[in-house]
């Protein structure tokens, strides 16, 4: 956490807030004494500026205003907000002057005033959005900033007419722009990511898990709030004047609504016909969307991502062609791995034993010893997971998300469908009805398995209550089932979820599929969130940022705790007198690894740079000797979407043709994610790169479109 401004500085904006409240009260009393009615705007507009004064004041009092925002900045900001707020108290006098003017002159002055206010407000709002978060704003091309202003202006004009040519509804635009800018600042700080359109559908989830972060207001945010205030003051000056009679009032209102409809139609037409990438030349970096946001601006980039949300039809796609590709890969499996003696032994054993399958997706669990400097500093990695001698398979798991987006990792695992072919920035849990999509719980339920999901958080997070029901889970244990259970760092301990699994096993001796999504390692990783006596102190060479080191060690302490709980859970499963298969994997690396990556590998090739942080760890283990498998801890890289099919193959469970295709494709592409894929030649390829495996990638894209997109369109 950066150094905070002294709490005493809070007096500057808070005193200004009190003065504005006193001025507003005095103006209201004076109006009443003069026999004038106190109109709502006479209270509401100054109240807005009082709120803008209260925000930095309260943050400063809480020790959450950065020291760089010194008393001079606070004083200037407070004086400006006080003056603007007081200025709204005399707006009625300006309106009265216009009312006394002749009709033609008054109409001309009002029109000029409205045009100027709307135009200046649009520029200020677009600037406020970027200023709050974009430290590369000076590199933003004027062309893209003009696009931002144009979009903001169109929405502002729409609300101006909807508000019957007042500034009331239009004032929502600067507030929204400033709020988005501030939100983007925190998302960038905590997750090194951009706000994507699908994130707006997950705002409830974001709010539910936001308590682990520290929200420090920066000087840039305070300046953004100033621009918001200036924009609001300009809009407060917009007023159409008193209508001559009720008939003119009604006619004017109808005309305004018609114009609002016309503007809305133009906006919709422009969105549907003008592509940010194709027509305006914005280069959307699907590897790192935040890079696009920095150089293209928030609004153009956000629109570009939104226009990319529909799942694109693969080039040259046909259902028959996709079915042929699926049949070829399934046949290759049947003639190869599926026809091996080892697979036959495993199949016979599975039909007899029907082992319980437990899948644990561990929050932010990853082995960061992949960062050489950290390993050289003595960090041993996830020791217990790495040293387990009798795993069926383990290794690096390619993920399509980093620092967040947990639901996409579980979507890939539970469906076998990769975000690579759905689209970066899309969250299927939020966007699609998955009732008709093949899923692991529904598949195992068809084999007689009871199906249970566990997550010690709110059931509505990532829409899980609905999605799990659509996927075929029979029960779902949420935070309500963990009342009184021990906490560590950001949530209930991993161990507490394992105890819940043990309860389920003791309640039913039949085969079960249990899916456990843990919580304890969730970001942020501020100092003081783990016990001091457990806190690690690794210091890799090349990292000088003390704040980064502090967060890194908080995370590593969490990873050690998860590794320890996993080892304990495995020993519990060993002691069971029933066959159990355990699949354990991390959903993504922690957000702190992005800053670590940048510090240790500056100027690196972008693809190699991103590849390092889009990987976690996985383990497949059984408490019985799986027939046809040496259980010698084979190490293989795999993608999250291919993991479930591989597990079913290893233990002899029945496979669908789609799963057979996934397993067969690993002969040429062992691992695939939204970041790219690893070829059998050991080379990491970008998803759309030309190369020896491009034909197979195209086949997999078509097969998944048939398997997933055709069912959710």
Q: Which domains does the chain have, with CATH numbers?
A: 1-100 (no CATH), 103-306 (no CATH), 343-648 (3.40.720.10)
Q: Are 636 and 411 in contact (CB under 8 A)?
A: no
Q: For residue 196, what pLDDT band results from cuts at 50, 70 and 90?
A: confident
Average pLDDT over residues 277-304: 85
Output the pLDDT for position 505. Answer: 97
Q: Give residue-wise pLDDT tens across range 421-453.
A: 998 878 898 888 899 999 999 999 999 999 999
What is the distance between the alpha carbons of residues 633 and 395, in angstroms, rounded to a whole number? 9
> Which tokens sit at 214?
């520290």
Half-sphere exposure of 369 (CA within 13 A, CB side): 17
What is the distance between the alpha carbons of residues 620 and 297, in angstroms, rounded to a whole number? 44
Q: Which of 369, 351, 467 is nearest to 414 (CA)?
A: 467
Q: Which of 503, 477, 502 is nearest to 492 (CA)?
A: 477
CA–chain centroid gap for 671, Å, is 24
Q: For residue 203, what pLDDT band results from cuts at 50, 70 and 90?
A: confident
Q: Are 167 and 160 in contact (CB under 8 A)?
A: yes
Say if strands 512-517 and 450-454 run parallel, antiparallel, or are unpaired. Answer: parallel
Quick check: 672 pLDDT over 70? yes
Quick check: 606 pLDDT over 90? no
Half-sphere exposure of 589 (CA within 13 A, CB side): 27
Quick check: 46 pLDDT over 80? yes
Supply the pTM of this predicted model: 0.77
Q: Which of 595, 639, 637 is nearest to 613 (CA)?
A: 595
Quick check: 234 pLDDT over 90? yes
Q: Which residue has the tokens 């195209």?
A: 698
What is the distance between the alpha carbons of residues 301 and 277, in angstroms, rounded to a whole number? 9
User: % helix / strand / coil in the chain, to the nearest 5?
Assistant: 60, 10, 30
Write out the DSSP string of 257-318: HHHHHHHHHHHHHHHHH--TTTTT-----SS-HHHHHHHH-HHHHHHHHHHT-SPPPPTT--
Q: Which of 184-193, 546-555, 616-625, 683-692 has the lowest mean pLDDT?
A: 184-193
> Which tokens sit at 661?
């295709």
Say if strands 634-635 and 393-398 run parallel, antiparallel, or are unpaired. Answer: parallel
Output the pLDDT for position 195. Answer: 86
Q: For residue 286, what pLDDT band results from cuts at 50, 70 and 90?
A: low
Output the pLDDT for position 244. Answer: 63
What is the distance between the alpha carbons of residues 571 and 569, in angstroms, rounded to a whole number? 5
Q: For residue 243, what pLDDT band results from cuts at 50, 70 and 90?
A: low
Quick check: 287 pLDDT over 60? no
Q: Give residue-wise pLDDT tens across range 209-224.
A: 676 788 899 999 999 9
């Amino acid at each position: 956490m950066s150094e905070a401004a002294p709490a005493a500085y809070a007096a500057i904006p808070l005193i200004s807030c009190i003065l504005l409240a006193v001025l507003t009260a005095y103006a209201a009393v004076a109006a009443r004494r003069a026999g004038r009615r106190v109109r709502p705007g006479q209270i509401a507009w100054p109240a807005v500026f009082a709120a803008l004064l209260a925000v930095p004041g309260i943050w400063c009092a809480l020790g959450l205003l950065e020291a760089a925002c010194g008393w001079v900045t606070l004083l200037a900001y407070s004086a400006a907000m006080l003056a603007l707020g007081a200025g709204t108290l005399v707006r009625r006098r300006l309106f009265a002057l216009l009312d006394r003017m002749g009709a033609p002159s008054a109409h001309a002055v009002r029109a000029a005033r409205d045009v100027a206010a709307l135009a200046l407000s649009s520029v200020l709002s677009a600037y406020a959005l970027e200023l709050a978060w974009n430290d590369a704003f000076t590199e933003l091309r004027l062309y893209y900033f003009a696009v931002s202003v144009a979009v903001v202006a169109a929405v502002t004009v729409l609300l101006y007419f909807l508000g019957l040519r007042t500034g009331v509804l239009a004032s929502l635009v600067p507030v929204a722009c400033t709020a988005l800018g501030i939100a983007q600042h925190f998302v960038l700080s905590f997750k090194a990511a951009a706000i994507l359109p699908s994130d707006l559908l997950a705002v409830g989830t974001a709010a539910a898990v936001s308590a682990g972060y520290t929200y420090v207001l920066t000087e840039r945010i305070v300046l953004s709030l100033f621009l918001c205030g200036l924009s609001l003051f300009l809009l407060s000056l917009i007023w159409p004047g008193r209508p001559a009679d009720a008939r003119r009032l009604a006619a004017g209102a109808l005309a305004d609504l018609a114009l609002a409809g016309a503007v809305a139609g133009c906006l919709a037409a422009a969105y549907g016909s003008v592509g940010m990438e194709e027509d305006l030349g914005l280069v959307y970096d699907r590897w790192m969307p935040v890079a696009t946001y920095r150089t293209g601006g928030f609004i153009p980039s956000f629109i570009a991502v939104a226009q990319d949300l529909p799942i694109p039809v693969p080039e040259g796609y046909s259902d028959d062609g996709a079915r042929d590709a699926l049949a070829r890969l399934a046949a290759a499996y049947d003639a190869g791995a599926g026809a091996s003696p080892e697979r036959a032994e495993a199949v016979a054993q599975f039909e007899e034993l029907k082992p319980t399958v437990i899948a644990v997706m561990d929050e932010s669990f990853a082995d960061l010893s992949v960062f050489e400097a950290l390993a050289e500093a003595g960090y041993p990695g996830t020791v217990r997971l790495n040293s387990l001698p009798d795993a069926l398979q383990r290794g690096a798991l390619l993920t399509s998300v980093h620092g967040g987006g947990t639901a996409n990792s579980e979507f890939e695992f539970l469906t076998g469908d990769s975000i690579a072919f759905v689209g970066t920035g899309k969250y299927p849990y939020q966007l699609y009805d998955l009732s008709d999509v093949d899923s692991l719980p529904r598949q195992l339920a068809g084999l007689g398995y009871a199906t249970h999901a566990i997550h010690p958080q709110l059931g509505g997070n990532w829409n899980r209550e609905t999605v799990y029901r659509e996927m075929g889970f029979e029960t779902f244990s949420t935070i309500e089932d963990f009342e009184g259970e021990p906490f560590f760092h950001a949530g209930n301990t991993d161990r507490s979820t394992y105890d819940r699994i043990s309860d389920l096993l003791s309640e039913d001796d039949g085969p079960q599929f249990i899916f456990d999504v843990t919580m304890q390692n969730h970001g942020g990783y501020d100092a003081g969130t783990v016990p001091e006596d457990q806190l690690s102190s690794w210091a890799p060479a090349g990292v000088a940022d003390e704040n980064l080191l502090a967060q890194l060690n908080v995370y590593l302490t969490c990873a050690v705790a998860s590794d320890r709980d996993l080892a304990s859970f495995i020993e519990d499963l060993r002691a069971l007198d029933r066959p159990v298969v355990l699949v354990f994997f991390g959903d993504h690396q922690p957000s702190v690894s992005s800053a670590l990556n940048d510090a240790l590998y500056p100027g690196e090739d972008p693809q190699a740079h991103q590849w390092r942080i889009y990987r976690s760890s996985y383990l497949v283990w059984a408490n019985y000797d799986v027939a046809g498998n040496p259980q010698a801890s084979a190490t293989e890289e795999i993608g999250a979407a291919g993991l479930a099919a591989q597990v079913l193959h290893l233990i002899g469970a029945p496979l669908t043709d789609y799963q057979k295709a996934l397993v067969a494709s690993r002969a040429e592409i062992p691992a695939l994610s939204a970041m790219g894929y690893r070829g059998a030649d050991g080379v990491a390829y970008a998803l759309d790169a030309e190369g020896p495996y491009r034909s197979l990638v195209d086949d997999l894209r078509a097969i998944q479109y048939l398997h997933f997109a055709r069912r959710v369109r």
